[in-house]
Amino acid sequence: MKHRFFTVLIIGSMLFSSCGGVRLKSYEKQDCETLPGQATLETIENRCMLCHKGDFATVQDICERKDLIIDAVETGRMPRFSKLTQQELEIIVTWQQNP
C-alpha cells in the first residue's frame, strides 16, 4: 500500500511538472488567416488539451498559434506524453480545413 502511494505521487509529480508553466500566452500571436477544420480541431483537442487547456479556449486561439503548433508537431517537441499517429501528424501539418 505504501509503495502504491509513492508510485502515484511520483507519476502525479511528473505529470504536473511536465505540464506546469506551459502557457502559450507569452508567445506572439499571428494573424488568423485560415481557420482549422473539424479534423484539425479534434486532433488538437484530443492530443494537446492535457497541457494546453487554457491556451486553446477558442478556434481563434488555435488559429493564432498555427505556426507555433505546426512547428512543435513537425519537430517532435509536442505532444510530450505520446506520439502522434501519421494521420494526426498530417492533419495538423497540413492544417486541414472543412471541405
75 in a structural domain: yes
Instruction: Name the domain count of the chain.
Output: 1
87 in a structural domain: yes
Least confident range of 2-6, 9-13, 23-27, 85-89? 9-13
Range of the domain at 12: 2-93
Given a contact cutoff of 8 angstroms between Cβ atoms, the answer to whether 68 and 61 are in contact is no
Give the end-to-end CA distance of the chain in Å, rounded to a whole number: 53
pTM over 0.85: no
DSSP class of 82: S
Amino acid identity, residue 25? K
Residue range 19-37, pLDDT digits in tens: 655 566 777 888 988 899 9
Contacts of 59 (CB under 8 A, 6+ apart): 35, 36, 41
- pLDDT band for 49, please (50, 70, 90 cuts): confident
Sequence-ordered alpha helix ranges (H) in the chain: 2-19, 38-52, 59-63, 66-74, 86-93
98 in a structural domain: no
Contacts of 56 (CB under 8 A, 6+ apart): 44, 45, 48, 49, 62, 65
